[in-house]
Amino acid sequence: QAAADPMSSSDVPEDGPKETSSVSQNISDADAFKILLEMKMKKRQKKPILPSTVTELDTEDGSKVYVVGTAHFSDSSKKDVVKTIQEVQPDVVVVELCQYRVSMLKMDEKTLLKEAKEINLEKLQQAIKQNGVMSGLMQMLLLKVSAHITEQLGMAPGGEFREAFKEASKVPFCKFHLGDRPIPVTFKRAIAALSFWQKVKLAWGLCFLSDPISKDDVEKCKQKDLLEQMMAEMIGEFPDLHRTIVSERDIYLTYMLKQAAKQIELPRASETEPRKYIPAVVVGVVGMGHVPGIEKNWNSDLNIQEIMSVPPPSASSKIFKFVIKATVFGLMGYGCYRIGQRTVQFILSMPAAQSYLQKLTEIRSQH
């Protein structure tokens, strides 16, 4: 981490390695922390030059939060994230991911691109097993939307989060936090908010999504994230669904950013030394569609307990679940019937079978 602020060769004495070795043996952990912290503060810009997509927020104790609004399929958003982290040298980086999507941080672009394009039965079974039938189907439909964009653009989602993860690892004492509400909670609350016919209508719209998308369209959507804009167009008539997928997550993201922005305690040489705290610097990486909601909720007292609860399934959910199961079993039964019918027709069309049937007919006619 000390290499993050390299010294020029002229500053290194000829007997540098020996001297460094002796110093490293005598220096305390608290002193080492202070040295690295000073190096970090020197790199931290007093008036950072930030991209236009960054919103600056302050806490009551003087901590600063820089929220980078991104489009999830944008190269320029990745550059904005890197630039912001390098400029402000944060203590914490918070990204719009939960533990169920953390795998995308360590996967390479090629693998992610392949994974994002493939929506298969195995993924459907995994989603249903993890989230239940209704929420699993909703998750797969949203993955289909993401896969559609991926196929159109040839770009894997989450590039700005991977850049944030890489860049945060280069900053001394920088922590990396997952700031989004868990997917199962979001989808279960979303399903509970819809009536039976609303679920059918939404599923139908997602299944037949096929509008072409260009990279220019993505950049035009920098003021409102593309994926969320497409979703907003489809769920515009379902305000309860918009509340659970967007507004509630605005509250959750705001809460996590404020938690990350608590003051940092400096190391102490001894237990008797008084505790000292300094304001924190935080970088948040979220979809552009969440930025207005975060600004709106920033100065409010937030309680996330209510939006973390999962309501029991409604009567319409039970009916829809029954209809889905009945449809699946019905299709399977019809498929078996059709396969059996075609098999019988194929056997009867064979010369040997026709000859055998002709003999049976002759025997019957004789009797």
Query: How is 135-146 classified by DSSP, letter by letter?
Result: HHHHHHHHHHHH
pLDDT tens digit sequence for 267-292: 776 788 888 898 999 999 999 889 99
Residue 331, pLDDT > 60, answer yes
State how far the Cα of 292 lies from the Cα of 309, in Å rounded to an integer: 24
Q: How far is CA 271 from the centre of its chain?
A: 42
> Residue 11: pLDDT above 80?
no
Long-range contacts of 200-208 (CB under 8 A, 24+ apart): 200/320, 202/141, 202/234, 202/235, 202/238, 202/241, 203/137, 203/138, 203/141, 205/234, 206/141, 206/142, 206/144, 206/145, 206/234, 207/141, 207/144
pLDDT at residue 336 in the model: 61
107: tokens are: 């996967």
Residue type, 208: F
Look up the pTM and report it.
Answer: 0.70
Q: Does the structure show a pLDDT above 70 at 354? A: no
Say what the pLDDT of residue 352 is. 62
pLDDT in tens, 18-61: 444 444 556 777 777 778 878 888 888 778 899 999 999 999 99
DSSP string, 208-230: T------HHHHHHGGGS-HHHHH
Taking the C-alpha atoms of residue 298 and residue 59, their distance in angstroms, rounded to an integer, is 9
The stretch 235-239 carries a mean pLDDT of 64
In DSSP notation, 263-301 reads PEEPP-SSTTSPP-EE--EEEEEEEGGGHHHHHHHTTS-
Closest CA to 70 of 290, 229, 357: 290
Q: What does the pLDDT look like over 65-115, one tens digit per residue?
A: 999 999 877 889 999 999 999 999 999 999 999 998 888 887 766 676 666
Local confidence band at 244 (pLDDT 50, 70, 90 cut-offs): confident
**Mean pLDDT over all residues of the chain?**
75
Q: How far apart are CA 226 and CA 219, in angstroms?
A: 9
